[in-house]
Amino acid sequence: MLQVCSNHNETWGSDCEVYQMRCWCEKGLSQCRGDQYEHVHIEYYGICRDMPDCKPEEMADFPRRMRDWLFNIMRDLADRQELTPHYLKMEREAENNLTRRWSNAAVWKWCDLDGHPADRSVSRHELFPIRAPLMALEHCIAPFLDSCDVNDDHRITLKEWGKCLELDEVPVRLALERVVAGWYWLVLLSRLLLCRDESGCSYWSS
């Protein structure tokens, strides 16, 4: 079982133990070890350790490294055929068009993170899939992600995301428009297919 470090800087036997304690505390059950555990969450995987400070020069270089990393993950997923056709198209464009490379990868990741709920902003909870696994390897990830949330409302908008990755606003907006257009066509197509299967579909008659 993989040990985890919580936001209280305590090592737990597994992620399940953390979720279980949080659940006990949220429900006010006697197994809850204290009110502070009502908001306990996993900070990173592995045992707790002293994190080195992120030096200013490391922080200055971090957006570039993060852009590289996002593009490499997108490329890996494309190679493994794990991207949807729409994102695959964006990946192919990123391969061939250097000006679109970082913005396509950044928009893809931001949309990927914005899932629970998909409300056009990435909450701290939604950042978990990139934050927790990277914390033990990249000590600048936490201050970097905190710095993205410029207005400190605990959510990262696409504008904030693009800005902290040091991307131009226009290619980011264009890439997002393409994602939205892709979704629009997907929804339309699925409605058309559904309509074909159902007799007397109100979509056609309306």
Binding site for Ca ion (CB under 5 A): 114, 119, 149, 151, 153, 155
Minimum gap (Å) between residue 106 Cβ and Ca ion: 16
Minimum gap (Å) between residue 116 Cβ and Ca ion: 7
Minimum gap (Å) between residue 169 Cβ and Ca ion: 16
Q: Kindly tell me which of 35 and 152 has the beta carbon lying closer to Ca ion.
A: 152
**Count of CB atoms situated within 10 Å of the CB of 130:** 20
Which residues are registered as beta bridge partners of 122?
156
Minimum gap (Å) between residue 127 Cβ and Ca ion: 10
What the block records as the tokens of 150 is 């410029």
Answer positive or negative: Cα dihedral of 44, 139, 82, 113.
Answer: positive
What the block records as the tokens of 60 is 């200055």
Q: Kindly tell me which of 103 and 121 has the beta carbon lying closer to Ca ion.
A: 121
Q: Which residues contact 24 (CB under 8 A, 6 or more apart)?
A: 31, 32, 37
Burial class (CB in 10 A: 0-12, 13-18, 19+), 123: middle
Q: Kindly tell me which of 138 and 149 has the beta carbon lying closer to Ca ion.
A: 149
Q: Which residues contact 37 (CB under 8 A, 6 or more apart)?
A: 21, 22, 24, 25
Q: Kindly tell me which of 12 and 108 has the beta carbon lying closer to Ca ion.
A: 108
Q: Kindly tell me which of 66 and 127 has the beta carbon lying closer to Ca ion.
A: 127
Minimum gap (Å) between residue 115 Cβ and Ca ion: 7
